Structure 1
Amino acid sequence: MRRRSLILAAVPVGLVTLSGCGDEKSDSSKASDSASSAASPSASATSAAPPPKIVDGPLPAITAGVKFDEKPTVAKGSGDPSSQLAVKTVIAGGGKVVAEGDYIQANYLGQIWDTAKVFDNSYDRKTPLVIQLAEGSIIDGWRYALTGKKTDSRVEFSVPPTWGYGKEGNSQAGIKGTDTLVFVVDVQATFDAKSSAEGTDVAQSDAKLPKVSTNTDGKAPKIEIPKVDPPSKLVANYVIEGDGDEVAADSSLLVQYEGVVWDTGKEFDSTYSRSALTSFSLSQVVKGWAQGLTGKKVGSRVVIVIPPSLGYGDSPPSGSGIEKDSTMVFTVDILAKM
């Protein structure tokens, strides 16, 4: 399960009106999730401790893998670690500033100060972590150390138990309640409520299909529904084609989206209206979403027209504003794979 990692505190909520309406996970998928959770357990609940003082050190040396996004080798801590949060920008990037509450995409390595034992790293998995820097989603040390840093930066920091796993530690990962943790994090990207697709505009020439605007200013794209009958089959077309990895059938994604009903053009769900991005697994959503996004590229904007048979059919969610046997139209910006 790619989105699980040692520093997670909780799995983010999925789509409000789509979550839980897709097919159930297979037994093999559940088994894989269980095995991954055992290898990379969730973080304990965030502490109620006051914010730490940010200090310069001490921090152990990075002895190999010194380039950005290269797996680092970190020496064992020397002497006693700081009781506060020691933070050092090892490589200063020039990208977007990370704010608390943003989602970040990053590669990272974590080890124990006293022993240099590596308990988790994303480099070997070849899958960067995408996670929200928010209380309850990640251990506090990450929130305080990375807020204010810029993308394309490498940041090293040490996290004492108070802002890590507390007195309980994390037995599955071999972390004791007295262990100070050392992290090296390569911040690749950051996403907030104004993030949009990035890529090449694609011609929308079929007059019988909705037309979606290509604005990338963080505002909801405009969806124009033609005055014709909706298609009877699923439609999933690029509006903006990105150049990222292709989405797999079992991918978890971070997205912006807007959903309207074909017959009325009325919005029934939108991350733009909530000013909050959404993350979910394609196993958690209606079939039209799962089929429509599979094979599309990260960074893209996709318009999906979902017939009732691949949506809610005659059982739409109560209070959703969706009538029975409605065709739904979505514009989806695929920001990142999780």
Structure 2
Amino acid sequence: MRRAAPVALAAVSALVLAGCAGGGDAESTPTPTAAACMDVSSGDLSDGVKVEGDFGAAEPTATFDTPLETKKLERTVAIEGDGDETAAGDVVDVVISMFSSTSGERLVSQPAQLGVGDDTVLEAFGASIDCVPVGSRTVTVAPASAVYGDQGNETIGVAPGEAVVIVADVTGIVEEPTPEPLPTPAEWTENVPEVTFNGDEAPTVVIPDAPASTELQLKVLEEGDGATVGEGDSVTVQYEGINWATKESFDSSYSRGEPATFSTSGVITGFAAALVGQKVGTKLIVTIPPELGYGTDPAAHELGGQTLVFVVEIEDTQAAE
């Protein structure tokens, strides 16, 4: 029932994320606290890198003495922008270019979106976008310990223990879209499947031989008396997901032997709409049309175009922080 994640560029993941470099043991710095800036300053090495190329364009050139060796992270703001300053929690649009400290060769240059203060981003890349005005170009000289460590990154050509030079053009701060309000499920009164709960085992659900509903419909099988689930809450549930057309289960927390915990903002729309407003302890069944599930295109997702049925037991909810 989780939303399909956007397909990330493999090169971006291999480039900037801790755990994606070579053997997955890359070091990273803990996330700065909100509103705090990383303790990184300029130095002779970062000041000495000359960068040419239009701001925001891919494939700039960087000139510096090679081989460049350093054990200290340095960052110089080569171009200071006049936009809003990036802060922890922001997601920024940035053009990242990286150069070998040994040969001076440009290894990669591409746009990316990175989180400021995100501890899944390697220290050097975090430093390149931290607390700078939009429109800035930074030059970061990074020792191996701030990027890929002793294992290097074979995917993009960084040797074990090699330092790198990173040029980052911070082009904007990504504004989070205002989420659309969740739909309100209609009461499900006709062609409701028969449900028999079996303790810790998956419930028995009998789908009738009838056309699937084209609406989002819900029936409360047993009403709870606990806290009410709110939008964005972290909920803990047991659930069974069934394809109306095939009458077969496609996903089940029961089969995994433990309930699932997730944010209501991280699941398909119909599933979230079924949970929000319900109380802990509630057992329910919901039918979800394709447009509120995994879409109408079978080529885009294996459950595309399918009407889904979920039987859910709500065990707990925690308000979003």
Instruction: Using structure 2 for the length normalisation, give the TM-score.
Output: 0.51
Mapped partners of 2:186, 2:311: distance in 1: 23
Letter in 2 for 1:129: A
Mapped partners of 2:118, 2:160: distance in 1: 20
Confirm or deny: 8 A CA contact 1:9 1:46 kept in the other structure: no
Root mean square deviation, CA, Å: 4.5
Q: Which residue of 2 aligns with 1:180?
A: 163
Say which of 184, 191, 214 aligns to 1:232: 214
Q: Which runs of 5+ in 2 are unaligned?
A: 1-6, 32-37, 189-212, 217-264, 279-289, 298-302, 317-321
Letter in 2 for 1:46: E
Q: Report how far residue 164 of structure 1 moved.
A: 1.2
Q: Report how far residue 163 of structure 1 moved.
A: 0.9
Q: Report Cα offsets for 1:216-244 as digits up to 9, x if no partner.
A: 5xxx6655749799x8279xxxxxxxxxx
Q: Report how far residue 80 of structure 1 moved.
A: 4.7
Q: Report how far residue 87 of structure 1 moved.
A: 1.0
Letter in 1 for 2:123: D
Mapped partners of 2:271, 2:154: distance in 1: 52
Q: Which residue of 2 aligns with 1:196?
A: 176
Letter in 2 for 1:177: P
Please state whether the residue corresponding to 1:55 is helix, strand or coil: coil
Letter in 1 for 2:91: Y
Confirm or deny: 8 A CA contact 1:111 1:183 kept in the other structure: yes
Q: Which residue of 2 aligns with 1:7?
A: 15
Q: Does 1:267 align with 2:276?
A: yes
Mapped partners of 1:179, 1:263: distance in 2: 46
Q: Report how far residue 88 of structure 1 moved.
A: 1.5
Letter in 1 for 2:276: E
- Cα separation, partners in 2 of 1:292 and 1:43, compared to 1, 3 Å: farther
Confirm or deny: 8 A CA contact 1:260 1:267 kept in the other structure: no
Q: Which residue of 2 aligns with 1:72?
A: 60
Mapped partners of 2:293, 2:315: distance in 1: 17
Say which of 146, 150, 155 aligns to 2:138: 155
Q: Which residue of 2 aligns with 1:273?
A: none
Higher Cα Rg: structure 1 or 2? 2
Letter in 2 for 1:55: S
Q: Percent of aligned positions with the same letter in both sequences? A: 14
- Cα separation, partners in 2 of 1:265 and 1:173, compared to 1, 3 Å: closer
Say which of 61, 77, 85 aligns to 1:89: 77
Aligned pairs for 1:1-338 within 5 A = 2-4=8-10, 5=12, 6-9=14-17, 44-47=25-28, 53-59=40-46, 60-77=48-65, 80-122=68-110, 128-134=111-117, 136-191=119-174, 195-197=175-177, 222-223=181-182, 225=184, 232=214, 267=276, 288=292, 291=295, 310=305, 313-315=308-310, 319=314
Q: Report how far residue 70 of structure 1 moved.
A: 4.7
Q: Report how far residue 109 of structure 1 moved.
A: 0.8
Letter in 1 for 2:27: T
- Cα separation, partners in 2 of 1:168 and 1:41, compared to 1, 3 Å: closer
Instruction: Using structure 1 for the length normalisation, give the TM-score.
Output: 0.49
Q: Which residue of 2 aligns with 1:283?
A: none
- Cα separation, partners in 2 of 1:317 and 1:118, compared to 1, 3 Å: farther
Mapped partners of 2:277, 2:104: distance in 1: 51
Mapped partners of 1:110, 1:61: distance in 2: 12
Q: Which residue of 2 aligns with 1:32?
A: none
